Structure 1
């Protein structure tokens, strides 16, 4: 489904991209890692479905007792590093979208830790912008507004003048709470779970145009 009506005639000072499911496809490897982790820790994998888009540091404490959390976090980090090393695909339109945006007007805002981010960047060869916000950079991760507020702050722009591009309910909630306009992409979650101002299947359907008045988004 494509619905860009809410973006028609509007411009933005910056674009804040989620990474996994938005710019890169790490889903298969991540699901494999989490399934193995769940088996090892006696967790019903069905319990993971409602926690998508949240950082591991929020997911693990919700599923295990406090005395098991530290070791379990270290284990999922290790498993996700292993699958990231096997290679990660760039999603359609990623390279074109990042190339169209000025370096000082784009950031990645991710729930990854710094070390997992580095592994996935290496595995995907993502042409990453210079500003990246990870889970380690904020006190509260998605769905709290902190990640997108920090992304806007680092770019020196008002979050209400930012477009946040996300694929997960938690990320969209985080962006909305920060005051950003939201654009949902991808197929990692059912469409009816993605509460956003605009929707597109992926970035290949979009054209980002930077001009004196700001950044406009249109159909390709």
Structure 2
């Protein structure tokens, strides 16, 4: 397996971005965060970290510390993360350039994340990244990833209410749970190998796999649709739309 496919183009009506691992990498910050929270609730942080990526904190707490599984606590503790560990987060390569191009073309895009509003807006502000017109966050749905509800809602936020539109929406994701969520919503999915092994990403069966967003360039765009050029994708995963 190698990231060697020649450039190819795909066209979509809109794009749905996961946040952590797709637009930013806050792994170092999240490790520190869960160490603090784990000590606070009496759970080994390593146990939390093994299964937390791509999942809502409230879903983790329902299992590990049910008395803390409420939105007041989750929003508070996630809101502290960018404030306390902001220097530990960086952009995913290529993310800012792609978002800037989409905005300049008035293309339809939004963020669909397992994080809460305080967490997402905190990171966007800290890294001075653009805010989308709409957000789908942990509070937006009753069940988190890998359930498809968040990406179904994301599609609707872009103005596409029919399931027939799903295949014309691209989900950009790094976690297996998120990839499975996007696929279950009927969308095409681009998997990034930024937080998991290539084997784990492959097992979730995205339509294409790239290292990061440096491999994704907008070549044409607007409210009517977005044409992307994808380069250096993982050869076995390529199956053009």
TM-score for the superposition, normalised by structure 2: 0.80
Query: Residues 85 and 170 of structure 1: is their aligned pair in 2 closer, same or farther, counting only changes over 3 Å?
Result: same
Query: Residues 85 and 174 of structure 1: is their aligned pair in 2 closer, same or farther, counting only changes over 3 Å?
Result: same
Give the deviation of 1:39 after TM superposition: 2.2
TM-score for the superposition, normalised by structure 1: 0.87
Q: What is the CA RMSD across the aligned residues, in angstroms? A: 2.5
Give the deviation of 1:200 after TM superposition: 0.8
Aligned to 1:164: 171
The CA deviation string for residues 127-157 of structure 1, in whole angstroms up to 9 with x for no partner, is: 2322321112222221111111111111123
Task: State the distance in 2 between where 1:147 and 1:200 align.
Answer: 23
Aligned to 1:208: 218
Aligned to 1:142: 145
Give the deviation of 1:68 after TM superposition: 4.2
Give the deviation of 1:52 after TM superposition: 1.6
Aligned to 2:30: 30
- C-alpha contact (below 8 Å) 2:94/2:213 kept by paired residues: yes
Structure 2 unaligned segments of length 5 or more: list them: 233-241
Aligned to 2:99: 98
After superposing the two structures, state which structure 1 stretch, 42-51 or 88-97, moved more: 42-51
1:108 and 2:111 equivalent? yes
Task: State the distance in 2 between where 1:4 and 1:165 align.
Answer: 18
Aligned to 2:239: none
Structure 1 unaligned segments of length 5 or more: list them: none
Give the deviation of 1:206 after TM superposition: 1.9
Task: State the distance in 1 between where 2:75 and 2:168 align.
Answer: 37
What number of residue pairs does the alignment pair up?
218
Task: State the distance in 1 between where 2:45 and 2:159 align.
Answer: 41
Task: State the distance in 1 between where 2:148 and 2:207 align.
Answer: 17
Task: State the distance in 1 between where 2:9 and 2:93 align.
Answer: 25
Give the deviation of 1:16 after TM superposition: 0.8
Task: State the distance in 2 between where 1:108 and 1:2 align.
Answer: 26
Task: State the distance in 2 between where 1:3 and 1:180 align.
Answer: 24
Aligned to 1:193: 200
Query: Residues 4 and 86 of structure 1: is their aligned pair in 2 closer, same or farther, counting only changes over 3 Å?
Result: same
SS at match of 1:103: coil
- C-alpha contact (below 8 Å) 2:9/2:230 kept by paired residues: no
Query: Residues 68 and 131 of structure 1: is their aligned pair in 2 closer, same or farther, counting only changes over 3 Å?
Result: closer
